[in-house]
Every structure is written in structure tokens, then in C-alpha cells.
Chain A
């Protein structure tokens, strides 16, 4: 049965507490900071999409130059605080740490990054000084990581930025789309305030592109427009029964957790999660943490091909989620309009497909899972036509449109969106410098 309010307040608090707690003391941070070898042309930095100078910011922790450390991080990644919580560091900076090659634990880069940025954000250090106003005005659509990153970079350079956000809060997927035990809504709000504290950025909440404001209108009123609108379209399974009550998409499921609070979110007794990406993991673990009795993750390929990291898989396993590898959904069964089961086919791996991964091939063997809820996390689809940073040039007196983040790349990490925002801001500033 699908129902909400399965746990006590204390149980919810326990289940959704910070999964990567910060260093408790300066001494504790220094033990790890001092282990850093201060590599040259460091693999960690090269593995960070925003190129944070990791050895430098860690060195600055050891010399008690925390202001400098925070500046090093935030000047490369204005969401450095949030990224220290949500980045899959095992496949980025920490995964590249040279200690891995010594069979030693890597430097806890994310935790050290959090150490510096938490202090900067909590104390509202004036890390950045805004340049004199240039008189230029840019509209940014979407207050997610890409939009905030672009807005901050533009505002620092003296541009006046207005952000149009359809939700009631800023932060985008950081606020609405990430597992709550990774980053709290309170932190998202603090980080947003910190970003806005540079000045020159205003946000219009509850203002959706296409409904409340049109692109043409923005192109007429502003000198440039940046679209950081994310990926809103969940990939459908296109199987019978997908419309039954109890079939939800993971993005919506997580959004509800983040916007309505844990007790309000209904979960089944037995839940199937389709997919094996980061969002699938976030959905599966949070279903368990909301009180679902059994969670089964269904993935049509093997551990070799899964999009999530090993650390994420381990997290799901530790939460008691079961994984059915080489299994693809075929039909959702229902009774009285509600989910009662999921029919799957066993697969085997065939030749590599266009993604380079070996494609699953149906073996014909069928299994039926006894479930009352199905969460779809089979990926998201980018909007057609947003595949370039500069979408539309200035024509007919209309300002040029730039885009970046998930809406362009199809849905990558927060840190990728931050970098895209940075690059778009640089492109916009270059455009301004030429006209």
C-alpha cells in the first residue's frame, strides 16, 4: 500500500541527517590537509569540471589562510559549498588523487572544501567585490546551478542580472532534485544568500518561461539572455501500465520530498526503481529512508555499465536496496487502477551500442516483481535545439540568447552546470565587449 507518514519525526531526522558530516575541529581538518602532497598540474584539479585549484586551497587551510582558501574555491566554483556535498567526488577529484595509486585513501577533498566554504558562507565573508556597474542588463532564466553561476560571474563584472525562477526557492536541482541527506534545504538557502550578497542580482520567483514571461519579451528588455532551465522531461518507459496510480518519475518524487517535507511523501510497501543513475540511487535510498519495506532497483545492464558511481551503489546496498542486474521492465501490472506488480525480462549483454556500452538483449525469460509502487529514473532528455552555448545571435534588435547546464548537456552533475554558467557568462561578457 502506498501511504505517507510512515515514520516518527525522530526517525525522519535520523534517516535524512548529513551523510558526509563536516570536520568537527580545525585539528581534524589539518590532519587530512597536511597529508596533501601539493601535486603539480594536479590530477584532482584536472578532474574537476570547474578546475578548482585543489592543492592551493588545501595548502591555504594548512597555513591558516581560510579566507584565501575559500576564495580559491569560490572563484572557480561559486557553488563550491554545495558541490562539496553533492559532487560524486569518487569519479572526479578524489578519484584522481594520486594516493589512490599508492593504494592509500585519497585526500578527503570534498570535506576540506566544505571546511573552507562553510566558514565563508556562515560568516558571510566578503569574498568578492563587485565591479562598478556597466549599465548592461542580463536576464537569466532558472536559479539553478548554471543560472546562479552565470549570474554571479556577470554581477561581479558589473552587469545587472535579473533571474526568472519558476519555483518558490532558488537552487534548482540542488534544492529540489538531490537526496536530502546530501544537502539540506537550509544550506541551499544560505548558499543562495551568499551568492546574492555580491550584489546586482535580483530574482523573480514563481515566474516560468513561456507562462509568465516569454523569451521574446526578455530579448527585447535585456541586453542578453541566459537559459539555465535544466532538464524537465523525464524519459518515459513506453510500456503498458505506465499511467497507473503508483507510477511516479524520480525527479517528481524527489521534488516532493524537498518541497513538501518527509511525512507528506507517500511511498509503497514494495517499491521498484527503474534505472541505475545518480537520480535512481537518490530515489531508491530515499524511498527506503521514508519507510518503504522493500526497494528493488531494476537495471537492464550490469554494474560495469551503470551510470552511478560505486560509492553510490554501496550507499543503496547499505540502505538495504536490492538490485536486479540485466533486467528490463516490460509492463506495469495493476488492479483497480493501482500498481500491483512489474513484469520484467531478463537480459544479456550484446554488442556495444551508440553509447559505447554493451547493449542489453532480451533473453525472453520473464519475471514478475510483486510491487505496489514504481519509480522511473531512466534518464532525462535535453530540450532539442539547446545544444550550443550561444543559442541565438542578436538579430532584428533582439538580444542574443545563451544557454548552459543540464538543458544543454542533457543532465550531468551540478559542477558541470556551474562550469557551463561560468563559460556562458564569459561568452556574454565577450559579446558585450564587442558591441
Chain B
């Protein structure tokens, strides 16, 4: 059995799954239920200045009959009294001493406020702090949250204030609402933040109600930009995570990955691209804490099948395979192949290739079933047909190299090799 235990800057947890700072971690009753279910740790919902929330708070994007492909919220940081939160954090640590307890913070934008908040939180016995520089709504209008994370120099200043008093590890949470997460990540790391986490939510409008004409979520006839998360944002998060893992400064600090993680497969992908721990929220908001069972069992079984004994055996393993486009091998060539025994004659590959790609699939009429075959000479190996085919392994991509040696674009151009003639 693989060992899922995780050590993040000395913060230990029995597995790499932490609950992200969010409604599931804003009070003792939820956190204790999460720990009983088996979650490795929590990032307690952000503490800081006193706020009040509105109703409604969430909206979602459904896709092709599935609910909540993407999720959006306009909820602010914790709206419960600080002393109550601190008392409950202390109690959760006492009852589950083996779980990671990180507390998310967003103080008013002055040195004194940060210092006071950190001292009070450290007094609970919390194992680490996460600085919320990412919240994209509500708090930004007060100069907090993403307003800090979007400006590397402000972020650097706040981290410096934090590091003056913090005695437990400090993780800086990055906002994706920037051109690149790297500048703020670097500023935080250079100012002393021992770890990074990303991504926070992405500013969004999830949709407009076609009867009321008001975007959602509807708060008394008005709406506001919210923070988008859930399965839809995973690819964006993975890209941003990779840029952090590849930067010479930010790659030196451990990362806690966040963004649409719903299954053990998602978690494994985040870890392959550099996450030491992963944080989950939307999947729990839609299905409850019980999902932790398969998150752990699936990851463990996969690690066993790959011969990984601990998570450090594969964390970051895929980072180096993501290169710039011009490093890609121009001689690598694949063509699609349709397995006639598996084909169900739906024609989806044909019409996609015909209307949207390279007209590389031949249709032989039949009644009622047409036959579809690949015109190999025309096929550019784009994957489109394979991606949309509803039958697993019916369309495979077969390697047919243009040449034996590795040949990237720079070399291709230097040699003056021919461009497409069609």
C-alpha cells in the first residue's frame, strides 16, 4: 500500500487532501465532520475584518445535463466573530492532532492589523497560515484580497509585515486574475513566504437569466462579478501551477494546488505538475465530505500500479515535459485510425473533420450505417476525431514519424525546410 502521508513545510497530514478555505471550513461542526470522514487537513475559512454576506451567493454553469461544471460565488470571508472562530480552531486541533490546520488570513491593509491577527491565530496552535491575496470580489473594493495579489509590490510589502511576526509556515495564495501568477509568486517567495497555493477563483459572470434578464446570482434584481471555480477551471489552474513550478524563484517553495480538483485523477495531475498538497472545495460543496474515500483509495491504487511508494516519488514529475512550442519535435507525426470492429457509425468524427479540420475522413454510404475510414495522407494528427469519438479506444493515433531525428521549429526554420503548400 502506498504511503499518502504528506509533509508540507513540516505541516504533516495523513494524506495530501486539504479542504480549501471556503464555506466547508468555516466552523467547527463542518471541520470535525471532515476530519471524521478522513480529510488530511483544512485551511480554515479566511479570518480578518468583520464582514456581512448577501443572499443569494452562488451560481453555476451546467453542461449537457450535468450540474455544476463550473461554480461561482460572491461570498466574502468569514462573517462569524473572530473569538468564536479562534475557539473552534483550537478545539478542532485538540480533537484531531494528526490533521493539518492552516488558517487563511486577510487583515485590514496595515501592518498593525496583520500583526495582531497573526498573533491571535498562532495562539490557537494552528500549524500554518495562508495569506488570502486572491479573493476576487467584495474584498478587493476595500483594497484587500486580489487587490493585493494583483500588485507584486503590495504583496511583497504585506508578506514582509507577516514574516516579521509569523512563527509557523506561511503560504501565500495567488489570484489567477492576472496576466501571470509568477510576479506575485516571486514577490511573496522573495519576501519570505515559505510556500505558495494557487489558484483562487477566477472573476466571472456565469450567465444571464433569460426571463428576468438579470445575471446570476440574482441579489434583489442585481448581480456582481463572482469567483469561478469547479471542474471548468482545472485546466487554467494546471497551467498557472506549471508556470510556478518552472520559475527559478517560485519553484524553490512547495505549492498547494487548487482549482477544480474533484477526483484522485485530478489530484495526481496537480501533483505531477508540482503540487505537494492539494485543496478541494467545489467537489465537497456538491457532494459532501464522503468523496475523500475514493480520493485516497484511487490515488493509493494508482501509486501502487506505478510503483510509487510515497507522493514525493512523483510530485513534479511532469513539469519538465511542458516546454515552449518551438521545442516540440516537427518530425513527430501521428495519424488517426478507426477500429472498424468498435465503430458505431455515429459519424461524429467525419463531420468534425469535414467541417472543422482537414477533410481527412472518407464516408462510404450505407443504409442505415455509413462506413468511415481515415485518409491517412490527409490526416494532420490533430486528435479531434479521437477526442469526440464516443467509443473508448475506437480511434487511436498511430505514430508515423516524418523523420527519425528530433527536429524542433528553430532548427526546421534554420534549415529552410518547406512549409505547408495547401
B373 to chain A, nearest CB (A): 15
Q: Are A96 and B348 in contact (CB under 8 A)?
A: no
Pick from A33-41, A158-166, A409-417, A426-434 the stretch touching chain B.
Answer: A33-41
Query: Taking A31-B65, A101-B345 as contacts, is the C-beta distance between A96 and B351 under 8 angstroms?
Result: no
Q: Are A42 and B344 in contact (CB under 8 A)?
A: no
B18 within 8 A of A: no
Query: Which positions 89-124 of chain A face chain B at CB distance < 8 Å?
Result: 96, 98-99, 101-102
Determine the main DSSP class of A at the interface with B. Answer: helix
Complexed CA–CA distance, A39 and B347 (Å): 6
Query: Which positions 129-150 of chain A face chain B at CB distance < 8 Å?
Result: none
- Select from chain B the residue with minimum beta-carbon distance to A41: B347
Pick from B238-246, B364-372, B411-419 the stretch touching chain A.
Answer: B364-372
Determine the main DSSP class of B at the interface with A. Answer: loop
Query: Taking A41-B370, A102-B391 as contacts, is the C-beta distance between A34 and B344 under 8 angstroms?
Result: no
Q: Are B65 and A40 in contact (CB under 8 A)?
A: no
- Chain B residues positioned under 8 Å from A41 (CB to CB): 347, 363, 370
Cβ 8 A contact of B345, one of A30, A33, A38, A98: A98
Q: Are B64 and A40 in contact (CB under 8 A)?
A: no
Q: Are A34 and B390 in contact (CB under 8 A)?
A: no
B39 within 8 A of A: no
B350 within 8 A of A: yes
B344, B346, B390, most chain A CB atoms within 10 A: B346
A241 within 8 A of B: no
Query: Taking A43-B368, A46-B368, A47-B368 as contacts, is the C-beta distance between A38 and B348 under 8 angstroms?
Result: yes
- Chain B residues positioned under 8 Å from A42 (CB to CB): 346-347
Query: Taking A62-B64, A62-B65, A102-B391 as contacts, is the C-beta distance between A37 and B368 under 8 angstroms?
Result: no
Q: Are B346 and A39 in contact (CB under 8 A)?
A: yes
- Chain B residues positioned under 8 Å from A101 (CB to CB): 344-345
Complexed CA–CA distance, A150 and B367 (Å): 27
A50 to chain B, nearest CB (A): 14
Q: Are A34 and B64 in contact (CB under 8 A)?
A: yes
A208 to chain B, nearest CB (A): 40
Complexed CA–CA distance, A99 and B390 (Å): 10
B248 to chain A, nearest CB (A): 47
- Chain B residues positioned under 8 Å from A33 (CB to CB): 65
- Select from chain B the residue with minimum beta-carbon distance to A45: B368
Complexed CA–CA distance, A320 and B368 (Å): 35
- Chain B residues positioned under 8 Å from A39 (CB to CB): 345-348
- Select from chain B the residue with minimum beta-carbon distance to A44: B368
- Chain A residues positioned under 8 Å from B391 (CB to CB): 102
Query: Taking A40-B346, A101-B344 as contacts, is the C-beta distance between A96 and B64 under 8 angstroms?
Result: no
Q: Are A40 and B348 in contact (CB under 8 A)?
A: yes
- Chain A residues positioned under 8 Å from B368 (CB to CB): 43-44, 46-47, 96
- Select from chain A the residue with minimum beta-carbon distance to B363: A41
- Chain B residues positioned under 8 Å from A37 (CB to CB): 346, 348, 390
Cβ 8 A contact of B350, one of A34, A40, A47: A40
Cβ 8 A contact of A34, one of B65, B346, B347, B363: B65
Q: Are A102 and B344 in contact (CB under 8 A)?
A: yes
Write the B45-82 contact mask toward A (1 if CB under 8 angstroms, else 0): 00000000000000000001100000000000000000
- Chain B residues positioned under 8 Å from A34 (CB to CB): 64-65
Complexed CA–CA distance, A371 and B351 (Å): 59
A88 to chain B, nearest CB (A): 15
- Chain B residues positioned under 8 Å from A47 (CB to CB): 368
- Chain A residues positioned under 8 Å from B351 (CB to CB): 40
B23 to chain A, nearest CB (A): 27
Cβ 8 A contact of A40, one of B344, B347, B367: B347
Complexed CA–CA distance, A98 and B345 (Å): 7
Q: Are A46 and B367 in contact (CB under 8 A)?
A: yes
Q: Are B345 and A43 in contact (CB under 8 A)?
A: yes
Complexed CA–CA distance, A39 and B345 (Å): 8
Complexed CA–CA distance, A37 and B343 (Å): 14
Q: Are B344 and A98 in contact (CB under 8 A)?
A: yes
Query: Which positions 330-383 of chain B face chain A at CB distance < 8 Å?
Result: 344-348, 350-351, 363, 367-370
B69 to chain A, nearest CB (A): 13
B365 to chain A, nearest CB (A): 8
B68 to chain A, nearest CB (A): 15
Write the A190-214 contact mask toward B (1 if CB under 8 angstroms, else 0): 0000000000000000000000000
- Select from chain B the residue with minimum beta-carbon distance to A27: B65
Complexed CA–CA distance, A47 and B367 (Å): 8
A72 to chain B, nearest CB (A): 18
A64 to chain B, nearest CB (A): 9
Complexed CA–CA distance, A33 and B370 (Å): 23
A40, A43, A102, most chain B CB atoms within 10 A: A40
- Select from chain B the residue with minimum beta-carbon distance to A93: B368
- Select from chain B the residue with minimum beta-carbon distance to A95: B368
Complexed CA–CA distance, A40 and B347 (Å): 5
- Select from chain A the residue with minimum beta-carbon distance to B352: A40
- Chain B residues positioned under 8 Å from A98 (CB to CB): 344-346
Could you list 26 examples of A-B contacts with CB < 8 Å?
Answer: A31-B65, A34-B65, A37-B390, A38-B348, A39-B345, A39-B348, A40-B346, A40-B348, A40-B350, A40-B351, A41-B363, A42-B346, A42-B347, A43-B345, A43-B368, A43-B369, A44-B368, A46-B368, A62-B65, A96-B368, A96-B369, A98-B344, A98-B346, A99-B344, A101-B345, A102-B344
Shortest 10 CB-CB distances between A and B: which pairs?
Answer: A40-B347, A34-B65, A43-B368, A40-B351, A98-B344, A101-B344, A46-B368, A39-B346, A96-B368, A98-B346
- Could you list 15 further interchain pairs (A-B, Cβ under 8 angstroms) beyond the known A37-B390, A42-B347, A43-B369? A30-B65, A31-B65, A39-B347, A39-B348, A40-B346, A40-B351, A41-B363, A42-B346, A43-B368, A46-B367, A62-B64, A62-B65, A98-B346, A101-B345, A102-B391
